[in-house]
Amino acid sequence: MSLQHFLSFSDLTGNEVRRILDRAVELKGETRSGIPHDHLLRGKTLGMIFEKSSTRTRVSFEVGMLQLGGHALFLSPRDTQLGRGEPIEDTARVLSRMVDGVMIRTYEHEKIERFARYSTVPVINGLTDHEHPAQILADLQTYLEHRGDIGGKRVAWIGDGNNMCNSYIHAAHQMGFTLVAACPAGYDPDPAIAAAAGSAFELVRDPRDAVRDADLVVTDVWASMGQEDEKSARRQAFSKFIVDEPLMALARPDALFMHCLPAHREEEVTTEVLEGPQSVVWDEAENRLHAQKALIEFLFAA
Ligand code: CP
Ligand code: NVA
C-alpha cells in the first residue's frame, strides 16, 4: 500500500494509464447497461476544492463518486477557512483525517504539490495553471473508443501552450505518440516538460505544419481562467490559430477533433468544426465521468 497522487500526467506510467482506460471503458459499459457498481467505493469520500469555476470537473467527480457508492463534498474557498487564510498545509492534514481522497482545482501548481506533501490520502489535480491531467485521461479514452490505441499516432495541438498542452506533452511521452504543437511565439508550453518528452514532442509556429497528416487535432481557449486581463492581447496573438475546415482538411481524412470545453465558437474553433462529423467533444466530455471513476478506483486501491 503506497500513497499515489495524480498531480501531473507523468505520475502514471503508460501501462497504468492503459489499465485505467480499459477499466474506464468497462465501467462506462456497466453504467450504460444499468449495471450498478456502487459496491466498489461504498462509504468512501472525496473532498473537492474548487478555486476556479467548473461544470464538467465538478459534475463528473461528484456523480462518479456517487455511482461508485461513495460521496463527494464540494468545498469552495468562499465558505471554508481556506478562503480566510488557513494554511494549505493545515487544511491538507485536517482533510486527510476525514476523507479518502482530495481533488483540487486551483491556480498555482505549487499549491497542489504543497497540499499533497502534507496529505495522507491521494490528491488529484482537477486543473492548475500548469496541468490538466484528468482531462487528458478522458481524451485518451475517447480516442481509444473511436480509433483504438493512440500509440504511434500524430496529435496536433493548436494554440496556447497552456495547462492542457503541458499534460498532452507528458501523455505523448508516456503513451508513445507524437505531439506537434503550433503555438504563437511567447505562448510556448513549459520548456522543461517539452525537453523531457524528447522526440515525442515538436514545436512549430504554423498550425498547418502541426495538422498535416494528424490523427487527432486538439485545441483550447486562447485565454484560460485567470488570464481574463490578457484577452485582447491574446486575441491578436492567436488570430491565425483558428481550427477551421481548411485546416482540418490537411489532417488525415479520419482525423478526430477534440476540445476540453468550454469552447469559444469562432475564436479557437469554428462552429462548423466543433459541430462537424470529426468532432467528438461530447463523448470527450462524457468520458470525464468514466475515466475519473477508473482513476479514483486505481488511486484509492494503491
Ligand atoms: N474541461 C473542463 O475541465 O471543464 P470544466 O471547467 O467545466 O470543469
Ligand atoms: N485551459 C483552460 C481549460 C479549461 C477547462 C483553462 O485553464 O481555463
Looking at domain 135-282, its CATH class is alpha beta
111-130: pLDDT as tens digits: 999 999 999 999 999 999 99
Q: Can you give the residue ranges of every domain in the chain? A: 9-132+285-301, 135-282
Beta-carbon contacts of residue 28 (< 8 Å; ≥ 6 apart): 141, 287, 290
pLDDT on residue 101: 98
133-160 CB burial, b ≥16 within 10 A, e <16: bbbbbbbbbbbbbeeeebeebbbbbbbb
Q: What is the predicted pLDDT for the residue at 302?
A: 81
Instruction: Give the pLDDT score at 234.
Output: 98
| 265 included as an active-site residue | no
**Alpha carbon of 167 to ligand 2 centroid (Å):** 12
Nearest ligand 1 atom to alpha carbon 132:
3
Q: What confidence score (pLDDT) does residue 74 get? A: 97
Smallest CA-to-CA distance from 137 within 274, 302, 12 is with 12
What interhelical angle do 133-147 and 281-301 show, nearest 10? 120
Q: 272: burial class by Cβ within 10 Å (0-12, 13-18, 19+)?
A: middle
- 9-132+285-301 against 135-282: fold identical: yes
Nearest atom of ligand 2 to the alpha carbon of 164 = 1
What does the pLDDT look like over 26-61, one tens digit per residue?
999 999 999 999 999 999 999 999 999 999 999 999
Residue spans of the chain under pLDDT 70: 1
Instruction: State the ligand closest to the CA atom of 259.
Output: 1
- Decide whether any atom of ligand 2 lies within 6 Å of the 165 Cβ: no
Query: Is 288 one of the annotated active-site residues of the chain?
Result: yes
Ligand 1 touching residue 57 (CB < 6 A): yes
**Architecture of the 9-132+285-301 domain:** 3-Layer(aba) Sandwich (3.40)
- Ligand 2 contacts CB of residue 224 (under 6 A): yes
Bridge partners, 46 (sequence order): 72, 101
Contact 75, 48 (CB under 8 A): yes
**pLDDT (0 to 100) of residue 141:** 99
pLDDT reported for residue 92 = 98
Annotation says 220 is catalytic: yes
Ligand that comes closest to the CA of residue 285:
1
